[in-house]
Amino acid sequence: MTIAFLSIIVLSLVLALFSKRGHGHQKAEDFFVASGQFNTVLFFFLAVGETYSVATILGYPGGVYANGTGFVTWFLGYILLAFVVGYFLNPLIWRAGRVHGAVTMPDLFRRHFDSRALEVVVTCAVLVFLVPLGMQQFLGLQVVLKTLGWSISPLLLTCLAGALAFTYILISGIRASAYVAVLKDLLLIAAILVTAIVALQHWGVATSAPSAAWKHAMTPTLKGDLFSITTVISQSLGFCVVPQTCAYVFTARSASAVRRAQVTMPLYMLMFPFLTIVAYFALLHPVQVSSPNEVFPAVASALLPAPVTGLVMAGAALSALVVLTGICLAIGPLVSRNLVPGLSNDQQRRWSQVVIAFYLLLSIAGAATSSQLLVTINNLFYFGITQSLPGILGILFARRMRPSAIIAGIVAGDLIAIAIFELGIPVGGINPGFIGLLVNSAIVLSALYFAPGEARTPVAAITPRQSASL
């Protein structure tokens, strides 16, 4: 198992080194968004690599195991519909990125609205919610590494994983991330298919039954349905304004490359039925599971030969590492380009690496002291990130949106979402992020109607002919 696992890790490093070929000295834009040179295939793997994080391979079966199919509705629903929203919005975000020379999402706000205050507010709001996401990847890594049964302290193993992610980044930034994502996705598909097919072969007669609590969770309620519907709406819309997603869109060579990739992305979700089979196998058979997040590794190690389990775990570990590099490469320029003013191109790249190292250490420390369910962190992340949506839509479609209205909307939306979640304010099951987004949109739209700002050409109104001459 160990040899198979380590072989894949070595192969990933070789791929990362290969990605550097022909790009010896990278400028900041090449390091963070590959100078917008990726074709459909590389953009596809980078973007779906982000979609299928460790929250998918561990969190999804864990969620089905713990909460039943009510969980499936919103988890699958929002990812599926995010591809639909992305098909229509991402080509416009790509165009906005090109027109404004953007490496990060706050770059768009800075250039379009010519507002440093808006850039700083968007950057801070995004950073606050990105921090727990790194912790989520390390929590997942801890579950995966535990399955390998090595007699090394979990903290040391997590530090080694963090060092590996940092190495990918140092080698060639986003290019390494994309090349490793190809390996990770192929491995992940194989891992899920093999585990599910072997589970079906071993199905036989179910020897245990779901608990009464699980059956109760399966019973549809109005509150549960409201949560599902509002979560699907807010997170599918919010997916396009995730900072990493924006950065990945900026790596694409053309708007057509983005659209072509978006068409095929839903098909990549066909692995979810197989993950559901794994979760149901754990529910109906006596598999030793100490926490819901361990369902997938537990079934894999119970049914598969040791070397194959090693490959499966390597796929899961790479899924965490690839997403981690994506988060790091989003956070680095947010600080060195959007928060700290006046750094040169080379300085932005170097300072980003320092910020990334610090962020990795912070996430490792956070993971060592927290054991929240992976999916809960996923929700918290979307509560905040989604609040950038009205501003982005303003860049794409509105002529007279005020930067101050966007700032007020983001601050109000974030505060309301967090207050509802943290104080446990009863809202009938409605997703707190959705309520925040409604208030945020109301503020922005009211300002647009009652106190419009100066006229700016929205990105959607720039025709390809015009944009070619910019």
Partner 1 sequence: MPPFLRYTIGIAVPFLSVIPTVPLLGRLDVTVLGAPLALIWLFCCIPLTALCLAIVWFGHDSKLPEEHIDADYDRGGPA
Binding site for partner 1 (CB under 8 A): 27-29, 35-36, 69-70, 72-73, 76-77, 80-81, 83-85, 87-88, 95, 97-104, 107, 110-111, 116, 119, 218, 220, 225, 228-229, 232-233, 254-256, 259-260, 262-267, 269-270, 272-273, 276, 280, 337-338, 340-343, 345, 348, 464-465, 467-468, 470
Contacts for 204 with CB less than 8 Å, ≥ 6 apart:
none
- At its nearest, how many Å lie between partner 1 and the CB of residue 140? 24
Contacts of 462 (CB under 8 A, 6+ apart): 95, 99, 470
Q: Vertex 317, ends 45 and 264: CA angle to 5°? A: 20
Q: 54 with 141: CB under 8 angstroms? A: yes
The nearest distance, CB 228 to partner 1, in angstroms, is 6
Tell me which H or E stretch contains 276: helix 272-284
- Distance between CA atoms of 195 and 59, rounded to whole angstroms? 16
Instruction: Please give the structure tokens belonging to residue 67.
Output: 């909460």
CB of 4 to partner 1, least distance (A): 30
Q: How many residues does the chain have?
A: 470
Kindly tell me which of 192 and 232 has the beta carbon lying closer to partner 1. 232
Question: Do 293 and 373 touch, CB atoms closer than 8 A?
Answer: yes
Q: Which two tokens stand for residue 339?
A: 């928060």
* Least distance (Å) between residue 429 CB and partner 1: 11
Q: Which is nearer to partner 1, 7 or 73 (CB)?
A: 73
Q: Is 4 exposed, middle or buried (0-12, 13-18, 19+ CB in 10 A)?
A: middle
Q: 269 vs 439, which CB is nearer to partner 1?
A: 269
**Closer residue to partner 1, CB minimum distance, 64 or 314:** 64
What's the min distance (Å) between Cβ of 290 and partner 1? 26
**Is the CB of 142 or the CB of 235 nearer to partner 1?**
235
Helix, strand, or coil (residue 252): strand
CB of 116 to partner 1, least distance (A): 7
Q: Residue 276 or 353: which CB sits closer to partner 1?
A: 276
Nearer to partner 1, 163 or 209 (CB): 209
Q: Closest approach of Cβ 161 to partner 1, in Å? A: 31
Q: Are 146 and 129 in contact (CB under 8 A)?
A: no
Rounded CA separation 435/48 (Å):
28
